[in-house]
Amino acid sequence: MIEHDGHEVTFIDTAGIRKRSKIIGIEKFALTRTIELLKKANLVLLILDSTKQISELDERVAGLIEEHKLACLIVLNKWDIKEDRSYEEVVDDIRDELKFLHYAPFITISAKTGLRVNKILGQIVDIYGRYKRRISTSDLNDTLRAAIRRHHVPSHHGVVVNIKFATQYETKPPKIALITNRPDFLHFTYKRYLANFFREKYDFEGVPLDIVARKRGERYDDEE
């Protein structure tokens, strides 16, 4: 546990998952242990070797982070080692491989030299602040109306779909319900558009947004 800027940050190391091993049983146990820890976590530092390509294991862990709706900071280690690729090229490659974590920012460090390691705690506090943020219903609906004015809700085979209002019903992560006359007909691409609109408006960098469509009176947290 570390105290930083008025916050108590508890770190849990999931070391033990290796990319290759003949000890299949131990590796399976380590991955199961990681999944159990993710259920208790708020934010994940996904530490990647910047000198190597993304592995299948990296992709699997990224998928688990997204599945559990966790805040995330991608830490690129070994940045002191000279590479032919630029920062933009490295980031683009990782974004392409880890599409699940499109919301996660990057920080480049060197555990060996200490480069930017001291900035990680500040990033953790900032991202966690966004993770637990709650937007007022009036503010959220002002933003919703602006988004709809820019791009109207598409109809579904001639059926008109109206979004009546939006409300944030949970934090960690922020969960937003769209109250509509036909939730089944609200296309996922429009929900993604609204998520991106909200993300830009409220600076949800590092934070997944969970957006659901519901009829008035339905439970917000029911699985879609």
In a domain, 160, yes or no: yes
Q: Specify the number of domains making up the chain.
A: 2
- Strand-pairing partners, residue 214, are 179
At 160 the pLDDT is 96
CATH of residue 115's domain is 3.40.50.300
At 25 the pLDDT is 62
At 57 the pLDDT is 81
Same domain for 141 and 123, yes or no, is no
Task: Give the number of other CB atoms < 10 A from CB of residue 17.
Answer: 17
Q: Return d(Cα 61, Cα 83) in angstroms, integer.
A: 25
Same domain for 104 and 35, yes or no, is yes
Q: Return d(Cα 163, Cα 49) in angstroms, integer.
A: 44
In a domain, 158, yes or no: yes
Same domain for 37 and 126, yes or no, is yes
At 85 the pLDDT is 85
At 95 the pLDDT is 94
Same domain for 35 and 125, yes or no, is yes
Q: What is the mean pLDDT of each run of 10 residues along the chain (224 residues)?
A: 92 67 59 82 94 87 92 96 86 93 96 95 97 97 98 95 97 96 95 95 96 92 72
Report yes or no: 93 and 106 within 8 Å, Cβ to Cβ: no
At 222 the pLDDT is 74
Domain that holds residue 165: 137-214
Domain boundary at 83, 109, 131, which?
A: 131
